């Protein structure tokens, strides 16, 4: 699956893209993708990039997007999208993980309608499309796109994703909303709101507008970067990239008081089975 030919083609594409854009903000966004340390960059670039939104959208909509080259260069597992279906079995999958290298997006499906939660770094739209296809769904089945927070490794592909998913409404926490560039206005969601039957849980700290998504029916929590399992260890928000440490800790306690079996995080593998008890224990620590 991975071969040298593919790599060099991607590199060439990326180079051409950067040459085309020159000092454009989209190029800056591509180069700055590393992880959740990019909050200041993405936030500060917001005003200037807002005006270049159409060109960024156009550049991302091609079949081999340069930004996906950035994804692949950073992706340790390899260049191919890996969609991991999970959930209760016996019927449609309750959730699917879209592995995008060091970060994951997720797709929850209810009544044939897909809810995309986070969008990875810029150029991840092809992988998300592939994951939808694995569920027998396409862009037209995406009714909602929820961004857990503004960081560029989570909101990085919201422009191509919402451009392709023409019927999708987008959501983010109010405090993060203005830092996110999207092709259509996003809806600010607050604690307790529901989107497609899923409950929004405000989990500030990692960013002030960070939100998590709880599927109460299937016992699934999508926690974004409020929790992580990098290296197999459950932890709260990475202190290095946390805007408000006290709030982040309170959010861990809050999540530990919810009931869910499966935990899906932005960075690291899912915990399947007894997840909320582990989060509760973490909150006590
Ligand atoms: Zn983050």
Please report which confidence band the pLDDT of residue 220 belongs to, taking 50, 70 and 90 as the band edges. Answer: very high
Least confident stretch, 80-84, 87-91, 266-270: 87-91
In 3D space, the residue among 190, 208, 188 whose CA is nearest the CA of residue 199 turns out to be 190
Per the prediction, the chain carries an average pLDDT of 77
Between the CA of 152 and the centroid of ligand 1 the distance, in Å, is 8
What is the whole-number distance in angstroms between the Cα of residue 206 and the centre of ligand 1?
7
pLDDT at 19 over 60: no
> Is the pLDDT at 14 greater than 90, yes or no?
no
How high is the pLDDT of residue 190?
A: 97
Q: Which residues on neighbouring strands pair with residue 103, listed in sequence order? A: 100
Phi, psi of 223 (to 5 degrees): -105, 5
The whole-number average pLDDT for the span 254-279 is: 98
**Measured in angstroms, how far is the CA atom of residue 103 from the centroid of ligand 1?**
10
CA 149 – ligand 1 centroid, Å? 7
% of the chain surpassing 90 pLDDT: 66
Q: What angle do CA 152, 238, 35 make, to 5 degrees?
A: 25
| Ligand 1 center–CA 248 separation, angstroms | 12
| 34 CA distance to ligand 1 middle (Å) | 11
Q: What is the mean pLDDT of residues 37-65?
A: 35
**119-148, pLDDT tens digit by residue?**
999 999 999 999 999 999 999 999 999 999
Distance (Å) from CA 186 to ligand 1 centroid? 18
DSSP state of 229: B
pLDDT of residue 61: 35
Q: What is the CATH number of domain 14-284?
A: 3.60.15.10
- pLDDT confidence band for 208 (50 / 70 / 90): very high
Tell me the C-alpha distance between 227 and 153, whole Å: 15
Sheet holding 262-264, edge to edge: 194-195, 198-202, 211-215, 220-222, 262-264, 271-272
């Amino acid at each position: 699956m991975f071969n040298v030919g593919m790599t060099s083609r991607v590199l060439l594409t990326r180079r051409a893209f950067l040459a085309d854009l020159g000092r454009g903000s989209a190029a800056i966004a591509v180069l700055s993708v590393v992880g959740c340390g990019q909050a200041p960059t993405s936030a500060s670039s917001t005003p200037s990039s807002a005006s270049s939104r159409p060109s960024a959208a156009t550049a991302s909509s091609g079949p081999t997007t340069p930004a996906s080259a950035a994804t692949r260069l950073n992706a340790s597992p390899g260049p191919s999208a890996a969609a991991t279906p999970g959930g209760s079995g016996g019927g449609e999958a309750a959730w699917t993980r879209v592995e995008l290298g060091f970060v994951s997006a997720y797709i929850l499906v209810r009544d044939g309608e897909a809810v995309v939660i986070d969008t990875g770094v810029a150029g991840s739209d092809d992988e998300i499309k592939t994951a939808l296809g694995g569920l027998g769904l396409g862009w037209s089945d995406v009714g909602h796109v929820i961004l857990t927070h503004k960081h560029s490794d989570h909101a990085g592909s919201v422009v191509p994703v919402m451009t392709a998913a023409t019927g999708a409404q987008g959501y983010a926490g109010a405090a993060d909303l203005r830092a996110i560039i999207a092709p259509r206005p996003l809806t600010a969601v607050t604690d307790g709101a529901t989107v497609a039957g899923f409950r929004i849980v405000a989990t500030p700290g990692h960013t002030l507008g960070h939100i998590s998504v709880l599927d109460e029916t299937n016992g699934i929590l999508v926690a974004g970067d409020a929790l992580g399992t990098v290296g197999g260890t459950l932890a709260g928000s990475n202190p290095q990239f946390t805007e408000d440490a006290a709030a982040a800790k309170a959010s861990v306690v809050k999540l530990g008081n919810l009931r869910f079996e499966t935990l899906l995080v932005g960075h690291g593998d899912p915990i399947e089975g007894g997840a909320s008890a582990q989060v509760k224990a973490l909150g006590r620590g």
